[in-house]
Structure 1
Amino acid sequence: MISSNPRILANKYSIRSLINSLARDYSQENFIKFSNDALIVEVNELNCLTFELAAYSPLGGHRYSGKILFNNEEVSFDEMLPILCERFNEVDTSFIDNVLNSRNNMELILREYENRDIIIDDYLSSEQLMLLGHPFHPYPKCKNGMNEEDMRLYSPEFKNEFNLIWLKCHSSVIYTNGDIINVHKAMNELANFDLEELEEDYIYIPMHPWQWSRLAKKNEVETLLQSGLITKILQGRRKWCALSSLRSLYSKDAPYLVKYSMDVKLTNSIRHLQPEEAIRGMQMETVFKNEKVDEFSQKFEVLYEPFYVALKNNDGSAIIESTIQLRENFASDNCLLLATLAEENPYTGKSHLTTLVEENAKNLKLETGNFFLARKNWFSAFLENVVGEFIKLSEEHGVLLGAHMQNIILRMKDGLPIGAVYRDCQGTGFTSKSVEKFGKKYDFISKTKGNILNPDDVNKVYTYYLIINSVFNTIISLANGDEKAEIFHLNQFRNFIFKGYKESSFLKFLLESETLFQKGNFRCCITNINENTIANPWDIYNQIENPIVSLLRRPRQYQGTLYECKTHSGQTISLRAFDLDKDIDKFHEWHNKEYIYEFWEMNFSKDELAKYIQGLKSSPFQLPIIVDINGQQAGYFEVYWAFDDRIAPYCDANIYDRGIHILIGEEKYLRTKAVYESIFHLTKFIFEDDKRTQSIWGEPREDNKKVLKLAELLPGWSHEGVFDFPHKRSNLLKASRELFYMENTNE
């Protein structure tokens, strides 16, 4: 039973984010171990901390019960922290304070929702109901610098609305990377939305009320006020609210969103906008619009950040704490923030994404395997309409977007993602492909600007943001604590990449590298590194085991004869990989026979069939086989890994289970023992091909009675029932390895 006590929940989820970030950052070292449903951290040679697991996650999103042991004695979350810190040689004094700040803030937030439903059903709720924060961070809800009153007023989880403070400024006090005329126009367009009357000779700058209360006390700002360069302070009339990042403010009909510098510690840094980062929004917009990059997709939208502004010091430099960035507003109907959708509802223990997918299954009235199929369909749509768009942008134009979950807004239709809106151009960069395409035209695209990434850097940063942070975390959320489901969706992702993008150098790295790079949030926090100002950003990256390589079957190439034997009836049966040059004519002939196309429905042209076979041969999970009897082509078998195929939602397949489709093309073998012997030896070949294969599955059409009779006779095979594909009603057949060898009397 899930506790509803906010302190117990805050401790449990703080353990999850803290220990999962630790385990991921130090996964290549031997002081982290898993044993008997627990994660163990060896503090030193004599002492260890044990965190009881509620569910193990192959991708690292482990769930914990909340119980902590130190040398077999139970300790509290607060008692655990200084013990944990003994493991590390260098620990910043702020670390424990920030972890406790995060835990206490989480408790405060959870108390707000103790007796309320937490429903993510529109854009604003998805921004304001991220209650737990980054799932791989030591202090995901750290807001050091704000007290409880500040949080209740300005933190998004409390859903408060407030007015902006406006400064009427002379243009000489404005520090900006934009053309001052365009800046004047855009700032006053926003001011017209929020103020009743403007004096057009001035530029109006909006200030976050919390930040302004600090800025107004700075000597540099006091000097500006006294000089008359800031001549009036006004209060806006519209209501604004904080988005999930806290420092970005939203008002539904405003022409722009506003992002602020804020004197508050959020996750890895004090959130001050740095000019070298803020300028990237203008760079991205210039390339996207001038080169029509923004027309590459009907599914994808980037929210441009045309310029930043700040108040100017006497020496002409920017007052960094006053920096603000405008960001385009957008049509937010039917949009949801991915990070919140993937988050767990702490009072149900179920992710919001799981709840959405379950609702999809009910609406579609799916029967057998309904939730499994609905989950598979949702993830397919996510890969095709969201992840694929980020990949295409990188591959075709050399543009990288810092696509972590909190920057991806999903466009939804009928419960499925149909596209995405990307925000935060500070997290963008160009690859060497961009230099090649656009470098001569734009002087800001050069190898000296800091956001030009070579292929090795792309492998690091894009792997972390797009794959580890967004794809893997979405899989963790979809699986909702089901270890097998995580492997299934990871495999689904691998096949998506393999099918569409396997020639990409980045994705080739992703599919084949033994390790992946990820940003070490725990490493960053334990020593209090500010990731925004660190000299070498790669210093906070570390390598982790690549689960695509370590957890999944590696694709195999099959050629020539795979299996051959002499049967008791004296015939020679050979199974061999389909040879397009040798076998396509016969394959085409078979598919134009009525008794075959009645069931296979593939009476296509020879070219179409050749394309079909080539697709199977290049697939990571399908194997087309020709069966020869006495050296003559007799039939066609399609062998596939069931875990990867459409049958997976309807059977209890494991990752090494296989499935088969059977076609006997030569009439002279029909109703003879040759059919039985061919399928028997196919079964034997499959079990011998991989010793980990425990079951083989089949899904013939329900009215194919002959196959059912064969299943009764063949050793190991059984009829498991009937189910409905979207396109046909099928029998479910299964061959068990154990039963096959137990019942086999043919040898």
Structure 2
Amino acid sequence: MHGLAIDAPSALAEEATLAALLRCCVREVAGPRGLVWPAPPYLLLRVADRLLRARTYGGAALRFDGPLERLQDGAWRPLTTDELVGLVEADLQGHNAEFADQVAASKEAVAAILRARAAAEPPADPWLASEQALVYGHPFHPSPKARGGDGWLRYAPETHAEFPVQLLGVREDVLAEEGDVSALDGMGRAPDGYRLLPAHPWQLDLLRPAFGAELIDLGPGPVVSPTSSVRTVYAPDSAVCLKFSLNVRITNCVRKNAWYELAGAVELSSRLKPIFAEISAKHPATRWLPEPGYRSAALGTHLHEGLGVIVRQSPWAACAPGVTPVLAGALALDAQAREPLAWWSAYVSAVALPVVELYFAHGVVLEPHLQNVLVGQDAAGLPAQAVFRDLEGTKLVAGRHDLDGLHPEVARALTYDAERGWTRVVYCLLVNHLTEIAAAVAGHDGGLLRALWRIARDLLAKLAADLGWPLPLSDLLAGAPLPAKANLGVRWARAADRTAGYVPIANPLA
């Protein structure tokens, strides 16, 4: 299931959907109640009144080997997604009329993606190919590919889609912009008195803005390719990425650039430049993708946010010559580590160490989950650089930075308290990211998996000593449980993603 097979789309979609939902049940439903038991070679769990089992490997990544089964009338029988949805609904004893439909929609989306992907030509750019490799989505989400709106397939990264942006002209007296957006001006020609504003064609279909003297339609522009987040695209002719708003729900969130996030991206790009320069001096593999500017139309909040586009540096511009950026999420599917211990040591050094030091030494909270990190591989396939991106999830620890002069809403959106920030770092870095990469490297070899975590512990312990053994890092290395995001819980509650809680899981560093 973790490969990119494209035959029997419906069967593969059922397998992937069932596996993701069962992982959620282990982590969020049965696990916290003590209803998960090892019974080698199986893992047993109880959901509602039913005993379930699966062969697993990969530690907390919970990768499955063989069929997922339920015990009925004294015999083990194949489990289906519909059956597991019914068990979840019975166990949680609430009412959510949307839940079953969201799971079914995600499964149908995976099947549609697989069918379209079979007939598509993958991009020659290896980085872009990695961005478009996440066919099955988040392994611990009940509906990872559920997407709102119609016509989404022609804009889906997983189908190797390409499409032209739509160029708009914004009259200069209603232009909203900050920072350096010069890359946008090279995408076409605007009439005198207007400035170019590229728009995502899907978002235009959703917004249907009224065109007139202040906002004009200039027709199709350069062809772009969607990256893993769907709404961020790569414009090769301009060598930049563009982060658009999309007023549709993708996984847990409606993907809209709020006005304070537009301003915050530019503010963070300025503030982080000297900090990353200092971090890179100590951790030379560290790179990041600034978001130097945004542009929109000052035609009310709805259009200001809906048409807002953030310019982001291309990863190719961040990586050294001879280094190829690859999405970490794609490496979690197939790491291809020829020398696993050396590869993993280089990976943890490049990815984990600067993230931890940024938090403790600089009060910066990165969000280094699998879709926010690109790993630059050298000619031998070894991790040589780590490229961190997406300033929406990057925060400043409250009290560590002078935010006087910022709009209060911008300042609020840029900050986390120290505890919340550390929880987010640990979840994204260890649970979402390194756990999946370690599972991909180790495969079915449990001994190798344990050896990988010993290496990670040694590297983090050395950094802890350099930093003076800060208490949260000391607790982590002593075996404190890890926080795992409760995606099933937040979807069941129909709550905003920012309200998602965490459940404790075992710490492999112990």
1:190 aligned onto 2:184: yes
Cα 1:141–1:456 shift into 2, 3 Å = same
Q: Deviations over 1:117-154 (max 9, x none)?
A: 9999811111112222112211222223234xx30x21
- How has the CA–CA distance of structure 1 residues 70 and 92 changed in structure 2, closer, same or farther, with 3 Å as cutoff? farther
User: Does residue 305 in structure 1 map to residue 297 in structure 2?
Assistant: no
Q: How far has the Cα of 1:420 moved from its partner?
A: 1.4
Runs of 5+ consecutive residues of structure 1 not aligned to the other structure = 344-351, 359-373, 550-747
Aligned to 2:242: 258
Letter in 2 for 1:288: L
1:385 aligns with 2:385: no
Q: In 2, Cα distance between the equivalents of 1:82 and 1:107?
A: 22
Give the Cα–Cα distance (whole angstroms) in 2 for the partners of residues 487 and 142 of structure 1.
Answer: 35
Partner of 2:85: 81
For residue 494 of structure 1, what is the aligned residue in structure 2? 457
Find the partner of 1:17 among 17, 20, 43: 20
Distance 2:227 2:409 in 1: 34
- The counterpart of 1:322, out of the listed 307, 325, 328, is 307
User: Higher mean Cα deviation, 160-169 or 327-336?
Assistant: 327-336
1:138 partner SS: coil
Distance 2:362 2:167 in 1: 39
Q: Deviation of residue 294 (structure 1)? A: 2.8
Match of 2:142 in 1: 138
Report the CA distance between 1:240 and its aligned residue.
Answer: 0.7
Equivalent-residue separation in structure 1 for 2:430 and 2:174 (angstroms): 43
Please say if residues 308 and 324 of structure 1, whose CA atoms lie closer than 8 Å, have aligned partners that are also in contact: yes
Q: 1:419 to 1:156 in 2, by over 3 A?
A: same
Instruction: Within 5 Å, give how 1:54-73 maps onto structure 2.
Output: 55-69=56-70, 71=72, 72=75, 73=77
Please give the secondary structure, in 2, of the residue aligned with 1:146. coil
Q: Does 1:406 align with 2:389?
A: no
Secondary structure of the 2:310 match is strand
Q: Which residue of 1 aligns with 2:320?
A: none
Letter in 2 for 1:143: R
Give the superposition deviation at 1:78: 2.7
Shift of 1:101: 1.6
Deviation at 1:115, TM superposition (A): 9.3
Q: In 1, are the aligned partners of 2:264 and 2:410 still within 8 Å (CA)?
A: no
Give the secondary structure class of the aligned counterpart of 1:518: strand
> Percent of counterpart pairs with the same letter?
22
In 2: Cα distance, 1:208 partner to 1:84 partner: 37
Residues 558-579 of structure 1 deviation map (CA, whole Å, 9 limit, x = unaligned): xxxxxxxxxxxxxxxxxxxxxx
2-structure distance, mates of 1:66, 1:279: 49
| Cα drift, residue 61 of structure 1 | 2.2
Cα distance in structure 1, aligned partners of 2:214 and 2:453 = 58
Out of 407, 413, 417, which is 2:383 matched to? Answer: 417
| Structure-2 separation of matches of 1:529 and 1:158 | 29
Distance change (3 Å), C-alpha of 1:117 and 1:272? closer
Task: Compute the RMSD of aligned alpha carbons.
Answer: 3.0
Q: Which deviations, in whole Å up to 9, do the C-alpha atoms of 1:210-242 show, x marking residues without a partner?
A: 1112211xxxx22xx24x111343211x22111
Tell me, yes or no, if structure 1 residue 457 matches structure 2 residue 420: yes
Asked if the contact 2:442–2:449 (Cα under 8 Å) also holds between the matched residues in 1, the reply is yes
Counterpart AA for 2:332: A
**Out of 495, 498, 503, which is 1:542 matched to?**
503
- 1:469-493 deviations in whole A, cap 9, x for unaligned? 1122211111123332222211211
Shift of 1:89: 2.2
Partner of 1:477: 440
Residue 326 of structure 2: aligned partner: 336
Distance 2:238 2:299 in 1: 29
Change (3 A) 1:317 1:113: closer
Report the Cα distance in structure 2 between the residues aligned to 1:129 and 1:164, rounded to whole angstroms: 22
- 1:112 is displaced (CA, Å) by 4.5
Amino acid of the structure 2 residue aligned with 1:190: L
Q: C-alpha separation between the residues in 2 aligned to 1:138 and 1:285? A: 34
1:357 and 1:141 map into 2 onto residues whose CA distance is 28
Change (3 A) 1:118 1:282: closer
Q: Which amino acid in the other structure matches residue 18 of structure 2? A: I
1:74-95: CA deviation from partner (whole Å, max 9, x where unpaired): 4432333223321112342221
Q: Does 1:108 align with 2:84?
A: no
1:402 corresponds to which letter in structure 2? E
- Contact map agreement 2:57 2:443 (CA 8 A) in 1: no
Distance 1:106 1:477, change over 3 A: same
Distance in 2 (alpha carbons) for counterparts of 1:407 and 1:468? 14
Aligned length: 491
